[in-house]
Amino acid sequence: MSDETAHVIDEEVRAIITRNYERARQILIENMDILHAMKDALVKYETIEEVQIKQLMNREPVTPPSGWEETKISQAAYSNVATENESESAVEIEKPQDSE
């Protein structure tokens, strides 16, 4: 392959990359609201499913993922048990030691 052919190929590759970079950038700019809404949904629910993605893409309010309430209740119960265990441990640590 000649240097001239290699140069033409390099230029074409560079043009394709630049064109598609600009296209991707424009898509992100035009859909920044969806991107931020998706970020908010992920922060709130930690996971999203196909239903939530469709809602986001249609710029609709996002509903909780399936099983979210059960997960939320389980996490709350776990947090209460963990807090109680930590409190008990703290009490045990604070008890004075008997000197014999």
CA–CA dist 74, 84 (Å, integer):
15
Please check whether residue 51 is in contact with residue 60, taking contact to mean a CB–CB distance below 8 angstroms.
no
- If residue 26 lies in a helix (H) or strand (E), which one and from where to where? helix 3-30
- If residue 7 lies in a helix (H) or strand (E), which one and from where to where? helix 3-30
Please check whether residue 35 is in contact with residue 57, taking contact to mean a CB–CB distance below 8 angstroms.
no
Residues in the chain: 100
Q: Is the pLDDT of residue 12 over 70?
A: yes
What is the structure's pLDDT at 95?
Answer: 41
Which tops the pLDDT comparison, 98 or 63?
Answer: 63
Please write the tens of the pLDDT for every residue from 29-82: 999 999 999 999 999 999 999 999 999 999 999 999 988 876 666 666 556 555
- The single residue listed with the structure tokens 């700019």 is 29
pTM for the predicted model, two decimal places:
0.58
